Structure 1
Amino acid sequence: MTVTQQRTKTNYLLGFCRIFTGLLFIFSGFIKANDPTGFGYKLQEYFEVFHLTAFNEYATAIAVVICGFEILLGALLLLGVYANTVAWGLLLLILFFTFLTFYSAFFEVVTSCGCFGDAIPLTPWQSFSKDLVLLALILIIFFNRKQLRSIIKGSGNQFVATVITAVISLGIGVYTVNYLPFIDFLPYKVGNNLPSLMVLPEGKQGDLFEQIYTMKNKKTGETKKVNDKVYMADKLWEDESWEIIGEPESKLVKKGYDIPIPDLLITDADGADHTQEIIANPYYNLVIVAKDLSSTNIDAIQKINQAAIQLTKDYNGLRIVLLTASASKDAQYLSDKMQLIAEIFYADLIPLKSMVRANPGVLLLKGGNVVGKWHYNNFPDAKTIEDKFLSKDK
């Protein structure tokens, strides 16, 4: 093979790696930047694992930066701008991600890496495999980085293009943090029927588990583990020479259908269940989701409350609900202080995080369907809500 032929093959391979890696980084960064708050929740899981909980408060900001950095690196790779710096950045980033996904998979500490957000859930081992492929492609780019040529001529033009790309990359995450994701991949998105997402559909099977018993022979001291089928088939409960030690272990045998909303339980201060009463209400429910009252935006709560008061004057069938994971005494104190019109109910923090990426955020429900959803920054006035939704039922 001649030197020219060798260089041609190298250029083709390098070109493929450059385009594929660049596009994948842009896609991955954009998917996470679409919902950096959700990615921030995932980062908090990693902070817990590595005992870095001091960073929990800054998780969303860190998520915005990481997402923007991914988009920027991918775009600059395609443009060929600052090739040496970009190649180093890609290599260091993929080495970090590869370590993280391997650690998550091997030690089973984080069940989903969040590489593509909620749009494409990947298991830790799938994420690790993806990162190994990317690592191979980036190594080819890294060792051939001197052959990368910019499609933008002139150092000044390259600098301007980099600045514009960086602003756009970070701006996407900043916008979605303050105005909700462009595309909602969560089960509480507008158009979804919530009651139907809380049950196993007909014809679907859930996860299949088996119980593992640790058995000990009273005479010999021998121990063995048997599953529930063997335990029943061999009638071990009738054999007085064997006894069960400790609690049985539950082991996943076959992965089944995942119910989109498996964990929503809405209660009052006394613990009474009001989930279906609120979720399946045939009339309009304006649900104010303030997951943590200690950090919620008080001015936004006041604004939403004023709109709710006006709406109830014009529409008698509207029910106003405040849903929080905070303590009942804190919720009642805030309600009394601000003279809130909302009925107060309680739910676990995890489903509230999925309902709306804002604190507070607002959902408008009717007959179990999500018909409206807002961040407090773009919550409309009472007249807009009435004209667009409530007036249709008058």
Structure 2
Amino acid sequence: MNIAIVASILTVLVGLFYKGHKNWLMTWLQNFCGSLFVFSGWVKAVDPLGTAYKMEQYFAEFESTFSETWMSFVAPMFPWLSEHAILFSVFMIVFEIVLGLMLLMGAKPKFTSWAFLLLVVFFTFLTGFTYLTGYVPEGVNFFEFGKWGPYVETNMKVTDCGCFGDFLKLKPKISFLKDVFLLFPALWFVFRHKDMHQLFSAGVRNLIVGLSIVGLTVYCMSNYLWDIPSNDFRPFKVGENIGIRKAIEATAASNVPVLAYELRNKETGHVVRVPYTQYLKEFQNYPKEEWDAEQIRGDQTITVVKDANGRASILKFYEEIPAEQLSDYLTSHFELTGDTTVIPIATTKISDFDITDMDGNEKTWEVLQTPNYSFMIVAYKLYFEEGQENRMVYDTTYTYDTIAIEGTDSVYVERKVADVQARQVSQSVYDFDDDYVARYTEVVNPVLEAAQKEGVEAFAITAYGDPAMIEDFRHETQSAYPFYLADDIMLKTIVRSNPGIVLLKNGEIIQKWPYKQLPSYEEIKANWMK
């Protein structure tokens, strides 16, 4: 809606003050589509790694999907694209914003029209794949259209398209329909590009386009190559308490009301929606042999209440969070309008913050409820090459003799070597990337060693992998702190750096840094550990 308002204002200004204006509808569509592309591209330019991670998910799914069809010859290109996802991300982001500016100015109408159409077709393919995989049951290929079934949200292979980065999450269906709608102005531009308004002279338009390409490329690189994003739209932002938010999301998820049942007749396909209370009375009329039933649920919410002293708490909240800490969080993060407030709660990646040690023991709440400061090292991937090494092992066979001790009733057992057999075994060896190891030995660990000398705890979290490999890496880097395991996508969400360093206190994110911008421990202590 805001984009439409901006487009309308720009259209009036162009129509009133620019003599080259030709067509009100064309001008409005230029301004609407141009503003939309500038906005959607800009919120992704803040965090180009986020778009790169999203494209990696798409490329992985495309490789799996196409490899099982007659189009399998295209599948090998997707791993290559995954390896260069960040370059692809920066190119697409800059292209999207610049194309939006070109639409606003009417620069190179024919080229801009065709480029806009191709980009919208590409976006429609991505969002369509995301949404339509909801109709594809587990074990069925996307292109086996005859085996598609009813829409099930959990069937979707990529949960959201990332159209607006982490700034705005749209439902996959909404994203798909948005791109289908944009196909109409895209086609209009192609066939009526001569009606486009053109602002400024051709030389000025070209200069703006050129400067924009350079400036936007540098800006994108600054948000992943030299530093973390300048604006953090992700749930793991500074000031967020991971433990409390995780507990709130769990509470909201457990309190979702069932509003109705959607029932589909297996034979006729007829669908009826029955309110929940009515279904409880009439469920015998819909036997499972004849009807498929799906619950229609309401929004996830929590109910916050205040006591006579103004302390806020949550109904049906069972996590062991100190009452004062919970109250402070609720009053600072939500607008509490009265003694009782119902607050909608979205599920974020914080709900996926589950970590274990190498033996599978739960460590989540242990690290989130550490009352003092602690450092969390986030490493979604450890870079190495795996090889095999042959070595000799020796199997020894023993014999045991029971010997009586002369002059007594006692005996003792004597063990003797009977045989030794040598055999060769193959074992995995890991060659870790020297540059990646140096990030720990030269940057991260000196800071943590200084902190640990003062009793500050530290731990690292990496993606699920071979414990032997992770232990080898810990020794290679001389890291005197434990390594834990978690989901790699969740780790990528915490901090856009590998490794990234997060300062925690009682589950709250105090500050976070990419390894390239990590201050000394003395500076951290002076500025953030107060």
Give the TM-score range, shorter chain. Answer: 0.7 to 0.9
Structure 1 gaps of 5+ residues are 1-6, 215-224, 237-242
Question: Residue 146 and residue 388 in structure 1: after superposition, are their counterparts in 2 closer, same or farther (change >3 A)?
Answer: same
Q: Which residue of 1 aligns with 2:461?
A: 323
Q: Which residue of 1 aligns with 2:14?
A: none
Q: Which moved more, 1:16-25 or 1:335-344?
A: 335-344
Question: Residue 336 and residue 249 in structure 1: after superposition, are their counterparts in 2 closer, same or farther (change >3 A)?
Answer: farther
Structure 1 residue 244 displacement after superposition: 8.4
Q: Which moved more, 1:255-264 or 1:107-116?
A: 255-264
**Which of 128, 140, 143 is the equivalent residue of 2:191?**
143
Match for 2:39: what amino acid?
A: F
Q: Which moved more, 1:15-24 or 1:374-383?
A: 374-383
Q: Which residue of 2 aligns with 1:121?
A: 169
Structure 1 residue 121 displacement after superposition: 0.6
Q: Which residue of 1 aligns with 2:181?
A: 133
* Maintained 8 Å contact 2:103/2:112: yes
Secondary structure, counterpart of 1:262 in structure 2:
helix
Structure with bigger helix share is 1
Q: Which residue of 2 aligns with 1:307?
A: 447
Structure 1 residue 63 displacement after superposition: 1.3
Match for 2:346: what amino acid?
A: D
Q: What is the distance in 1 between the residues matched to 2:20 and 2:378?
A: 58
Q: Which residue of 1 aligns with 2:510?
A: 371
* Maintained 8 Å contact 1:289/1:352: yes
Q: What is the distance in 2 between the residues matched to 1:213 and 1:46?
A: 33
* Maintained 8 Å contact 1:293/1:330: no
Q: Which residue of 2 aligns with 1:269?
A: 358
TM-score normalised per structure 1: 0.82
Q: What is the distance in 2 between the residues matched to 1:250 and 1:348?
A: 29
**Which of 366, 369, 373 is the equivalent residue of 1:284?**
373
What RMSD in Å do the two structures reach over aligned CA positions?
3.4
**Which of 155, 159, 162 is the equivalent residue of 2:209?**
162
Q: Which residue of 2 aligns with 1:189?
A: 237
Structure with bigger strand share is 2
Question: Residue 151 and residue 322 in structure 1: after superposition, are their counterparts in 2 closer, same or farther (change >3 A)?
Answer: same
Question: Residue 31 and residue 230 in structure 1: after superposition, are their counterparts in 2 closer, same or farther (change >3 A)?
Answer: same
Q: What is the distance in 1 between the residues matched to 2:20 and 2:202?
A: 26
Question: Residue 154 and residue 291 in structure 1: after superposition, are their counterparts in 2 closer, same or farther (change >3 A)?
Answer: closer
* Maintained 8 Å contact 1:290/1:323: yes
* Maintained 8 Å contact 1:286/1:319: yes
Structure 1 residue 352 displacement after superposition: 1.1
Q: Which residue of 2 aligns with 1:4?
A: none
Secondary structure, counterpart of 2:351 in structure 1:
coil
Greater RCO, CA 8 A, separation 6+: 1
* Maintained 8 Å contact 1:207/1:252: no
Q: Which residue of 1 aligns with 2:41?
A: 29
Question: Residue 15 and residue 321 in structure 1: after superposition, are their counterparts in 2 closer, same or farther (change >3 A)?
Answer: same
Q: What is the distance in 1 between the residues matched to 2:170 and 2:381?
A: 29
Q: Which moved more, 1:17-26 or 1:157-166?
A: 157-166
Structure 1 residue 282 displacement after superposition: 1.3
Q: Superposed, which structure 2 residues align to 1:109-258 within 5 Å?
A: 109=156, 110-155=158-203, 157-178=204-225, 179-200=227-248, 204=252, 206-207=255-256, 253-256=297-300, 257-258=345-346
Question: Residue 49 and residue 334 in structure 1: after superposition, are their counterparts in 2 closer, same or farther (change >3 A)?
Answer: closer
**Which of 88, 92, 95 is the equivalent residue of 1:66?**
92
Q: What is the distance in 2 between the residues matched to 1:244 and 1:151?
A: 64
* Maintained 8 Å contact 2:23/2:196: no
Match for 1:305: what amino acid?
A: N
Q: What is the distance in 2 between the residues matched to 1:202 and 1:264?
A: 12
Q: Which moved more, 1:204-213 or 1:280-289?
A: 204-213
Question: Residue 65 and residue 103 in structure 1: after superposition, are their counterparts in 2 closer, same or farther (change >3 A)?
Answer: same
Structure 1 residue 212 displacement after superposition: 11
Secondary structure, counterpart of 2:219 in structure 1:
helix
Q: Which residue of 2 aligns with 1:77?
A: 103
Secondary structure, counterpart of 1:196 in structure 2:
helix
* Maintained 8 Å contact 2:236/2:494: yes
Match for 1:127: what amino acid?
A: S
* Maintained 8 Å contact 1:69/1:169: no
Q: What is the distance in 2 between the residues matched to 1:60 and 1:229?
A: 51
Structure 1 residue 252 displacement after superposition: 5.7
Q: What is the distance in 1 between the residues matched to 2:112 and 2:283?
A: 65
1:87 aligns with 2:134: no
Question: Residue 9 and residue 85 in structure 1: after superposition, are their counterparts in 2 closer, same or farther (change >3 A)?
Answer: closer
CA offset digits 1:305-364 (Å, max 9, x no partner): 111112333x32x11111111332122111112211222222122321211121111110
* Maintained 8 Å contact 1:33/1:64: yes
Aligned pair count reads 368
Q: Which residue of 2 aligns with 1:219?
A: none
Secondary structure, counterpart of 2:165 in structure 1:
coil
Q: Which moved more, 1:130-139 or 1:264-273?
A: 130-139
Match for 2:462: what amino acid?
A: T
Q: What is the distance in 1 between the residues matched to 2:222 and 2:263?
A: 52
Question: Residue 332 and residue 204 in structure 1: after superposition, are their counterparts in 2 closer, same or farther (change >3 A)?
Answer: closer
* Maintained 8 Å contact 1:187/1:197: no
Question: Residue 152 and residue 300 in structure 1: after superposition, are their counterparts in 2 closer, same or farther (change >3 A)?
Answer: farther
Match for 2:169: what amino acid?
A: P
Q: What is the distance in 2 between the residues matched to 1:271 and 1:251?
A: 34
Q: Which residue of 2 aligns with 1:362?
A: 501
**Which of 97, 118, 124 is the equivalent residue of 1:98?**
124
Match for 1:62: what amino acid?
A: F
Structure whose CA Rg is larger: 2
CA offset digits 1:170-204 (Å, max 9, x no partner): 22322212212221121111011111111236984
Question: Residue 203 and residue 244 in structure 1: after superposition, are their counterparts in 2 closer, same or farther (change >3 A)?
Answer: closer
Secondary structure, counterpart of 1:309 in structure 2:
helix
Q: Which residue of 1 aligns with 2:347?
A: 259
TM-score normalised per structure 2: 0.62
Q: Which residue of 2 aligns with 1:386?
A: 525
* Percentage of matched positions with identical amino acids: 30
Question: Residue 82 and residue 269 in structure 1: after superposition, are their counterparts in 2 closer, same or farther (change >3 A)?
Answer: same
Q: What is the distance in 1 between the residues matched to 2:288 and 2:248?
A: 33
